[in-house]
A and B are shown apart, each in its own frame.
Chain A
């Protein structure tokens, strides 16, 4: 194990870097409105890409533009405080913001498009969102999580597939 010493330093450094890269996980009360995936994707069976409409065509999945929210909420659940806030903000020309739950570091070039094209389900990384009233991170989305799946599915394990 002559490489052990050489490995020690990078391990310490990369562990430290890994900590700094991640922002704090979002909690229920850090969200501006009490958006529920359970209501939307679960109870009402709205497909993921209705709101995350770029997921099949782009590395970025995208969030529903406020106008898409309004498309339904012009008619639906107008009595809910969250919807009222949404409507007011939209009328004022301001988007609602959401606290980010899932994030990979800047040096990772993840593509939703490529994963969906290969039949990876949203659930595989994001968990059963349709059952979540409040979003939670189910998987850590560290490299080991990615690699486990890549190995299992015999996908590429080339570093440059994700790091550029």
Chain B
């Protein structure tokens, strides 16, 4: 700038008056040195620990990044064959579970109507005394029951020996997993004599068919399955996906074909498909020898309402040609004889098509600590209601909060004179307990588990316990010692677990001769042996009754439950999972009930109307949301919604009434591209068309020189599933605040990266498509945001980043107005991190304050970290060494990041692909991000 230099001007202004007006009244800051320096810990440098995610049953290996004793980020363990370095949204959010403000901070004991804090020693002494008094002459307690989540490792072993030493009943310990795929487990038992869940190798499947199984959200092992499916995407002969369900969910949005069934009709479709495959007329090759017997066991055909016979035949033909395939189902919400029948029909299709041992593997699922059959749980509740249960120990089990109201759990619990809850928080069941003995979080615990056969996952604490908690297994061992239980010699759970995993690891061929070798295995986090999948032998007896069928449900509205990758409807979920909007509806912070457009019109319902839903089980009020991709007979509710407990299991008829009230749903985004082709789909062999309109190459500002690197990204829309793991990872890495429902309603979410959705209506409901587009700062070479900033707070760095300097920003918001990608977010309020959530904050990233604009930085702190490491080692940065948090965690590996100046880098190669295009290319902003169009996948 000629004349007065900017810096000189600032000096003058700050020198005149303003500086003098500020009085430095702060007391000197204290520096507190360590007493003794901990080994390996260098303040300012991260430490990485390997452990296991316990968010669901998949058992993904995790790498936790720790800074100064606090864990600040979770990532997948690259050595783990399940996660392979990636993590889902829920896995990322385990961190907020650890730092959850409502976690229990110490033991509680009931005094009258209240639970009051009590020291551990006193609580254990009291409990031990009570248990001692209840013991009979044989030293056992006849009415003792232990209800636990699935613990396929040392914790389960401790519980089993405790329950068998102190309890008398045969099923004294019941394993309760409300989201277990019980139908599939039961069908595998009946068909093949193996009560286990399969392990999928979807990368081998050429066609995948899902009967409503949300295998990219929560079903079975979503991270591994997303990676498997998408390994076959992007290429011309790509893996095809068919989605069979009344609702197009996120997994369905990735499908090439949607067969929109009437609610409850999936079973019929599966049976008709099986019938088609087995019909000799269709000449399906390589049928198994049992084909005729299976065909004989099929129930008589019934007419289908939602799906035509031609569609079934088309699918059958595809599957008979494209082998191996994988048929998946049913979802966790399927239950009873119908769910089992659907699971059996699906598995028989897999058998007929020869998928076992290839894409669908049996014999690998862990058989340790399988969830108990539903009957055992209901028997326990019945015994409790009869007053036969005298002691109920609960380990991370909340039957009152998770089971439907019809299970009458509260009535049962109120009859139990002594309830001990070993959990993390005061859930609905724990509120009725007499002792609440809080467990460590999984990230604070030692342990080991067998996620599948031939694998051992090792759990270790990644930080010291935040609160006065104790490992539940240790509590049981302490009680066993106090009660002198026979057969339990172990005193220390850590030692017990260590001995167990070392024996297991040796059996898998791990070398553990020296203490260093043992530490190396622990540091690796996982031991992988080799187990072959089985070729299951079909048991033909009992096939006909298993393939039970009932008439298609009558017309009229039916309740459908669906899974979501996030947990917006779950009031107990952490903030990230509630606030990041559901990818298909844009809802955050509440439950909702979806209706089809036609049904909504018929009933005169608008989005946001509060509906009264009633079934034969009960009533609930939910906000209506009009869905563009739902069968007219379905009322769809997220399976995390607490309201579902009152309405009972899905599948039943539901009545709708308008209450006349409205509910302020927090809705984000518009499901429309406003006529612009942003999320592009190309036909086989095609290339996306180049947008014209503005003079090519004429830019608003001159493009820049990039002397060393030009950081760039490539996003493959054929691979992106829309799971939003990237979004949650971005929240975690970049200290994004959770703003709450009111700000969400006002459109003030702070996400730097969001998945834009748009619904492209087809001729029919089934032909409609949902296009998903990860949208973030495009780091334009000719960025429209830069020249409008009056204070130079945003500029183009020599490495190609569009930078935002927070301490310089004065919040004019001109840049956001000028950004064609809507990539910038403004801090309308100071961020709030409720104690102790602030402990999760990444110390390498500024916490922004009110009045400041912010946006994606391509995780510049991670770029600097990799550059620093490379410089220390005296070498250039390697391709793939720099990964922003979103790229790092993508289960589908749809995102690639690197240096576009290196022509051999993965990102440069991906950007040069024929499917590549840039967002709003015609405005000549020269983005650093290239998208690869989704393939139409026809044929």
Chain A residues proximal to chain B, CB less than 8 Å: 1, 3-4, 6-20, 22-27, 30, 53-54, 57-60, 62-68, 90, 93-100, 103, 105-107, 109, 111, 113-114, 117, 144, 156, 158-160, 163-164
Interface residues on B, range: 35 or more
Residue of B nearest to A6 (CB): B790
CB<8 Å pairs between A and B, sample of 6 = A4-B4, A7-B9, A7-B790, A7-B791, A9-B810, A18-B19
What CA separation (Å) do A109 and B161 show in the bound complex?
53
Verify A25–B6 contact, CB threshold 8 A: no
If A1-B3, A106-B846, A160-B797 touch, whether A64 touches B33 (CB-CB below 8 Å) is yes
Residue on B nearest A160 in the bound complex, by CB: B803
Q: Is the CB of B33 within 8 A of A65?
A: yes
Residue B932 lies at the interface, judged by CB distance under 8 Å to chain A: no
The answer to whether B13 and A12 have CB atoms under 8 Å apart is yes
Contact of B807 among A14, A96, A111 (CB under 8 A): A14
Question: Are B19 and A24 touching (Cβ within 8 A)?
Answer: no
Q: Does B26 contact A (CB under 8 A)?
A: yes
Contact partner of B797 (CB less than 8 A), chosen from A9, A62, A67, A158, is: A158
Residues of B with C-beta under 8 A to A12: 13, 18
Is there contact, CB below 8 Å, between A11 and B1? no
Any A CB within 8 A of the CB of B22 = yes
Kindly identify which residue among A13, A58, A99 contacts B29, using a CB–CB cutoff of 8 Å: A99
Q: With a CB–CB cut-off of 8 A, which chain A residues contact B27?
A: 23-24
> In this assembly, does B119 line the interface, its C-beta being within 8 Å of a C-beta of chain A?
no
Contact with A along B776-791 (1 / 0, CB 8 A): 0000000000000011
Output the least CB separation between A96 and chain B (Å).
7
Q: In the complex, which residues of chain A have a beta carbon less than 8 angstroms from the beta carbon of B9? A: 4, 7, 11
Known interface pairs A15-B19, A67-B37, A100-B28; A62-B803 also in contact (CB < 8 Å): no
| Minimum CB–CB distance for A135 against chain B, Å | 11
Which residues of the partner chain B approach A144 to less than 8 Å between Cβ atoms?
Answer: 7, 11
Q: Which of B1-40 contact A (CB under 8 A)?
A: 1, 3-4, 6-7, 9-11, 13-14, 18-19, 21-22, 24-37
Which stretch, B400-408, B692-700, B860-868, touches the partner chain A? B860-868
Task: Determine the distance from Cα of A64 to Cα of B868 in the docked complex, in whole angstroms.
Answer: 25
The answer to the question of B296 belonging to the interface, with a C-beta cut-off of 8 Å to chain A, is no
CB-CB under 8 A for A15 and B13, given A58-B43, A66-B35, A158-B798? yes
> Does B499 sit at the interface, judged by CB under 8 A?
no
Question: 4 tightest CB-CB pairs across the interface, nearest first?
Answer: A19-B22, A15-B14, A60-B44, A63-B33
Is B846 in contact with A114, judged by CB distance below 8 angstroms? no
**Cβ–Cβ < 8 Å partners of A107 in chain B:** 806-807, 846
How far in angstroms is the closest Cβ of chain B from A21?
9
Query: Do the beta carbons of A10 and B791 come within 8 Å of each other?
Result: yes
In the docked arrangement, what's the CA distance between A14 and B806, Å? Answer: 11
Q: Which residues of the other chain, A, contact B801 by a CB distance below 8 angstroms?
A: 160
Are B807 and A16 within 8 A (Cβ)? no
Binding site for A on B (CB under 8 A): 1, 3-4, 6-7, 9-11, 13-14, 18-19, 21-22, 24-37, 42-45, 790-791, 795, 797-799, 801, 803, 805-808, 810, 844-847, 857, 860-861, 864, 868, 871-872
A57 to B807, CA, bound (A): 27
- Within the complex, what minimum Cβ distance (angstroms) separates B827 from chain A? 14
Q: Are A95 and B44 in contact (CB under 8 A)?
A: no
Pick the most buried of A11, A24, A95: most chain B CB atoms within 10 A of its CB: A11
Q: Are B810 and A24 in contact (CB under 8 A)?
A: no
Q: Which residues of chain A are near B799, meaning CB under 8 Å?
A: 158
Q: Specify which chain A residues have a CB less than 8 angstroms from the CB of B844 in the assembled complex.
A: 109, 164
The docked-state distance in angstroms from the alpha carbon of A121 to that of B589 is 53
Q: Is the CB of B808 within 8 A of A10?
A: yes
CB neighbours of B24 from chain A (8 A): 19, 22-25
Given contacts A14-B808, A26-B28, A105-B807, contact A20 B35 (CB under 8 A): no
B35 near A67 (CB under 8 angstroms)?
Answer: yes
Contact B28 A8 (CB under 8 A): no
B4 and chain A: residue at smallest CB distance:
A1
Known: A24-B28, A59-B44. 17 other contacts (CB 8 A): A1-B4, A6-B791, A11-B14, A16-B21, A18-B19, A19-B18, A53-B37, A62-B33, A95-B35, A99-B30, A99-B31, A100-B29, A109-B861, A113-B868, A144-B7, A159-B795, A159-B797
In the bound complex, do residue B42 and residue A14 qualify as a contact, i.e. CB atoms below 8 Å apart?
no
A85 nearest CB across to chain B (Å): 14
Nearest Cβ distance between residue A28 and chain B, in whole angstroms?
11
Which residues of A have CB within 8 Å of B3? 1
Measured CA separation A7–B7 after assembly (Å): 10
User: In the bound complex, how far is the Cα of B6 from the Cα of A68, in angstroms?
Assistant: 47
Contact of B1 among A3, A15, A90 (CB under 8 A): A3
- Does A103 lie within 8 Å of B33, measured CB to CB? no
**B19 contacts which chain A residues (CB < 8 A)?**
15, 18-19
Within the complex, the shortest CB–CB distance from B317 to chain A, in Å, comes to: 56
| Residues of A close to B45: CB separation below 8 A | 57-59
B784 to chain A, nearest CB (A): 18
Query: Which residues of the other chain, A, contact B25 by a CB distance below 8 angstroms?
Result: 24
Query: Which residues of chain A have C-beta atoms less than 8 A from B21's C-beta?
Result: 16
Q: Given contacts A106-B846, A107-B807, is CB(A54)–CB(B33) below 8 Å?
A: no
Given the contacts A54-B43, A65-B34, A65-B37, A160 and B860 also touching, CB distance less than 8 Å? yes
Chain B positions within 8 Å of A105 at CB level:
807
Q: In angstroms, how far is the closest chain A Cβ from the Cβ of B833?
A: 14
User: A100–B864 contact, CB under 8 A?
Assistant: no
Q: Is the CB of A99 within 8 A of B28?
A: yes
Whether the pair A66, B34 counts as a contact (CB closer than 8 A) is: yes
Cα distance, A96 to B25, chains bound together (Å) = 24
B807 near A163: Cβ-Cβ < 8 Å: yes
Question: With the chains together, A72 CA to B803 CA distance in Å?
Answer: 48
Given known A-B contacts A59-B44, A98-B31, A100-B29, A10 and B803 have beta carbons under 8 A apart: no
* Whole-angstrom CA separation of A107 from B29 in the bound complex: 17
Q: A65-B34, A66-B34, A114-B868 are in contact. Are A20 and B22 (CB under 8 A)?
A: yes
A161 to chain B: closest residue by CB: B864
Residues of A within 8 A of B861 (CB): 109, 164
Question: In the complex, how many angstroms separate the beta carbon of A94 from the nearest chain B beta carbon?
Answer: 8
In the bound complex, residues from chain B placing their C-beta under 8 Å from that of A113 are 868
Partner of A23, one of B10, B18, B26, B846: B26
Chain A, residue nearest B792 (CB)? A159
- Distance of A134 Cα from B541 Cα, bound (Å): 91
Residue of B nearest to A19 (CB): B22
Alpha-carbon distance A164/B843, docked complex (angstroms): 10
Nearest Cβ on chain A to B42's Cβ, whole angstroms: 5
Q: Provide the bound-state CA to CA distance between A109 and B754, in Å.
A: 28
